[in-house]
Chains A and B, each alone.
Chain A
């Protein structure tokens, strides 16, 4: 590690002298990790805007199924003539909402943004191991986003088989027209997305292993880096399996194979396919699909660990337990996929095994939750917006995680499987929690991304509190309509008089969703406004220990003007007292950045 540093320093100097950065190499085809992280963030936020808007559209439909809405006609055109939403576009909206939020916003937008920004800065590296691959990774992500957005304008409609795209529905355009061109584009987009994700993940892994600065042992890494590192490993293990599923599906669709199709009579004729099994697809899909939940969630947990420790002015409680639980969650996440398939027709014995592994995952999750709570205990909590979002994350992570105990139990899953109970559960535990993680990250590291400018805190408070109340108002009551036996993905419930009395709840949920959606505009305004006019803060506004705050406001290629800082301690020396316990180790300052050598009046810890 240390041997590399001078060489890179040298290269950097030369670089500065001989190449003028052009507009294109700075802002578009940049290989600088800080610029790439901004590109990821902004692309992710735009996709998020599209995804959330879609959910508001179908919430309107669910609350007032018989009303006509001009906005439907404006946005959906021929799919909503006279303002009445077509059932097939409803399914498309649900499908694309899920796809965009899971992959494009919470995978690329969250992990892509902060892995890129923080890995080199927090481990003390000049850049990613391969800046070029990093650039390719972003542009593949951009390309897949563009293809996904284009698929919205296909004549036969965007993909509509649910974000899980179970065949035969997704394989046969005879079943829904959307499974024609729309599904083709969906698959192409996802294939490119997977390539992007793999390039990114490999880069993160290599960088964390090889480019840590002198003194930065693995046990001194901030938890953010641990989370990104492990997330990248899960990505590398599981995303290729999704690619294989997508490829086999493409073959079934276009080349007449029968991996997933068998004994099908549709559109008045029998198809030739024989011997395939849709259950095989479910296995392949969920082998990625479940780890994907943790790909989304772990970075958020990493971010909140860092933000909570910094703002509590306390070390994160149980650092080693936190790392161990990240590793345990990562390992277990790859052997629990079958809990999505308890009633798929697979052998009940497998159901038992998956129940066992699934409930095991509650243990490291519980450890994490308790450690967060203990970190707050006897702290000196600074309620910056990022801190609020992190506490909100712990809250929704607990609420959503607990209902996972119901769904992970094969017996109980029988009657709530594919009902609104599931929708409520995963939105709280991965959707809202991960979004909170994303927001916490943006509020906390905005100054690092945009040359010291800070987001307005008061707008941040408004954003947080309305979102926090709104999200619970949306998703808490949703558990109950699920327990009433209301299936998800129904265009309208009016075909069942039995569900008539649930209409009020649906209206309440939609109203809450509209308000919560609207308040995100406050964030958008704050974000854009602060990029240009935000107040400049000090170099280390949150008084944080990690290395990124030792860099200057101005972005330079290579991050540090002079030599790379060395590291002498872990990143959680907040409020550490000197040996006599008369004052902090550094008098009058309750934090000791990682690059400060061990002081004489200080007891050494094992980090």
Chain B
């Protein structure tokens, strides 16, 4: 596949370079009628044709990308607000592609149609208030629609109301790790600050705060399906960003302040693994990795790790140092019962302190 793509690109470029050299030669012969380095009739004609070819290329590459690369899109959102996000995205992309196709077409086709010719007279056309008004007012109306639509969605997502049974989780970022802190039985996170970090107390929970005693710090993020989660984000060193693409969620993590984000997961890990989309994707990746592993083994290297099961993940999306590219955490979405069972197996802050 790789080779194929590279080949196509090289061939396309070679073809265009070859065309160029032809133009170059042709215009060399023509230079008996010397126009110096100013474009003459022939240059205008050739470049006009290239303009036409260029807009076809542009349409082709757009079509190709939307058709072939659509398999890279993220699967349908696994969160409640994600559906709205996807609709807004679809509407916006449809709109901009419509404008893109029309304007690029006009630009290049005019360039082709009105290319310079000896004897052609350009139209002295300096102003038209009506036209200016039309193409000011159309963007105004369309954008007003988009802005209002976007702002309602934004407000729904960001100005969330906390449900009574909402799960409060702290996402704690340190270079180059993520931790999750659950509030425990009292559903209240204990006070915390980097100044309390010591020994096993790696996220700096205030040991004098009773609320913190039943807090649970984990390396994986488990979320019960269908229940609102309110994330409180805290960083111990530099800026990070908690990016959960499958849930259409992202929020920066800022040392010195607590930021927040909230969503309700709607699809469990089990369910999404079963979807056709993910199975197709896993099959493709498996093929790629098998081929790659064979090459590696043949070269005397170790084969790649298996990647058999899809898991949601949380990525760091704000440059934070040398290993930024590998700062991630696994997310598991499961039923309320599974979630409770898992949480029960985790250590509370109190027992962590006791073991020390």
B204 at the interface (CB under 8 A from A): yes
Given contact pairs A351-B158, A384-B39, A501-B72, A477 touches B321 in the complex (Cβ within 8 A): no
Please, how many angstroms separate the alpha-carbon atoms of A541 and B95 in the complex?
42
| B114 adjacent to A465 (CB under 8 Å) | no
Count of A-B residue pairs with CB < 8 Å: 422
Chain A's closest residue to B66 (CB) is A480
Within 8 A of A (CB), among B167-197: 174-175, 193-195, 197
Q: Which residues of A contact B241 (CB under 8 A)?
A: 343, 417-418
| B259 adjacent to A485 (CB under 8 Å) | no
> Could you give, for residues 254-271 of chain A, a 1 whenever the CB lies within 8 Å of some chain B CB and a 0 otherwise?
000000011111100010
Please, how many angstroms separate the alpha-carbon atoms of A376 and B111 in the complex?
6
| B104 adjacent to A483 (CB under 8 Å) | no
Given contact pairs A169-B238, A504-B2, A541-B36, A359 touches B146 in the complex (Cβ within 8 A): yes
Q: Which of B100, B116, B321 contacts A176 (CB 8 A)?
A: B321
Given contact pairs A278-B254, A405-B96, A414-B249, A383 touches B47 in the complex (Cβ within 8 A): yes
Please, how many angstroms separate the alpha-carbon atoms of A276 and B291 in the complex?
51
Please, how many angstroms separate the alpha-carbon atoms of A199 and B266 in the complex?
58
> Could you give, for residues 75-108 of chain B, a 1 whenever the CB lies within 8 Å of some chain A CB and a 0 otherwise?
0000000000100110011011001100110111
| B322 adjacent to A487 (CB under 8 Å) | no
Please, how many angstroms separate the alpha-carbon atoms of A226 and B316 in the complex?
43
A192 at the interface (CB under 8 A from B): no
Interface stretch of the complex, out of A70-78, A211-219, A431-439, A491-499? A491-499
Given contact pairs A369-B103, A374-B131, A395-B107, A498 touches B285 in the complex (Cβ within 8 A): yes
| B123 adjacent to A379 (CB under 8 Å) | yes
Of listed A262, A498, A502, A508, residue having the most chain B CB within 10 A: A498
| A263 adjacent to B13 (CB under 8 Å) | no
Please, how many angstroms separate the alpha-carbon atoms of A384 and B38 in the complex?
6
Shortest beta-carbon distance from B14 to chain A in Å: 10
Given contact pairs A391-B107, A395-B104, A511 touches B326 in the complex (Cβ within 8 A): no
Please, how many angstroms separate the alpha-carbon atoms of A312 and B204 in the complex?
68
Chain B's closest residue to A258 (CB) is B256
> Could you give, for residues 368-401 of chain A, a 1 whenever the CB lies within 8 Å of some chain B CB and a 0 otherwise?
0111111011111111100110010011001100
Q: Which of B103, B146, B323 contacts A373 (CB 8 A)?
A: B103
| A575 adjacent to B285 (CB under 8 Å) | no
Please, how many angstroms separate the alpha-carbon atoms of A366 and B131 in the complex?
13
Please, how many angstroms separate the alpha-carbon atoms of A512 and B106 in the complex?
27
Q: Which of B95, B151, B248 contacts A414 (CB 8 A)?
A: B248
Of listed A175, A278, A351, A414, residue having the most chain B CB within 10 A: A414
B51 at the interface (CB under 8 A from A): yes
Please, how many angstroms separate the alpha-carbon atoms of A61 and B338 in the complex?
42
Interface stretch of the complex, out of B16-24, B212-220, B269-277, B348-356? B16-24
Please, how many angstroms separate the alpha-carbon atoms of A455 and B38 in the complex?
10
Shortest beta-carbon distance from A33 to chain B in Å: 25
| A415 adjacent to B85 (CB under 8 Å) | yes
| B251 adjacent to A382 (CB under 8 Å) | no
B211 at the interface (CB under 8 A from A): no
Please, how many angstroms separate the alpha-carbon atoms of A167 and B259 in the complex?
17
Please, how many angstroms separate the alpha-carbon atoms of A382 and B120 in the complex?
11
Shortest beta-carbon distance from B242 to chain A in Å: 9
A546 at the interface (CB under 8 A from B): no
Q: Which of B20, B36, B128, B325 contacts A491 (CB 8 A)?
A: B325
Please, how many angstroms separate the alpha-carbon atoms of A166 and B239 in the complex?
8
Q: Which residues of A contact B305 (CB under 8 A)?
A: 497
A352 at the interface (CB under 8 A from B): yes
A34 at the interface (CB under 8 A from B): no
Please, how many angstroms separate the alpha-carbon atoms of A315 and B285 in the complex?
56
Shortest beta-carbon distance from B339 to chain A in Å: 23
| B288 adjacent to A379 (CB under 8 Å) | no
Please, how many angstroms separate the alpha-carbon atoms of A363 and B252 in the complex?
30
Q: Which residues of A contact B127 (CB under 8 A)?
A: 317-320
Q: Which residues of B contact A410 (CB under 8 A)?
A: 150-151, 154
Q: Which residues of B contact A362 (CB under 8 A)?
A: 139, 143
Q: Which residues of A contact B325 (CB under 8 A)?
A: 87, 489-493, 495
Please, how many angstroms separate the alpha-carbon atoms of A318 and B320 in the complex?
48
A41 at the interface (CB under 8 A from B): no
| A535 adjacent to B36 (CB under 8 Å) | yes
| A498 adjacent to B310 (CB under 8 Å) | yes
| B236 adjacent to A264 (CB under 8 Å) | yes
| B139 adjacent to A366 (CB under 8 Å) | yes
Please, how many angstroms separate the alpha-carbon atoms of A538 and B36 in the complex?
9
A469 at the interface (CB under 8 A from B): yes
Could you tell me which A residues sit within 8 Å of B by CB distance? 86-88, 91, 161-162, 166-169, 172, 175-176, 261-266, 270, 274-279, 312-321, 343-345, 348, 351-352, 355-356, 359-360, 362-363, 366-367, 369-374, 376-384, 387-388, 391, 394-395, 398-399, 402-403, 405-406, 409-412, 414-415, 417-419, 454-459, 461-462, 465-466, 468-470, 472-473, 476-477, 479-481, 483-485, 487, 489-493, 495-498, 500-505, 507-508, 511-512, 515, 534-535, 537-538, 541-542, 572, 574-577, 590, 605
What 8 A-B pairs are tightest by C-beta distance, nearest first? Answer: A262-B256, A485-B245, A348-B158, A345-B259, A497-B307, A383-B47, A265-B194, A454-B37
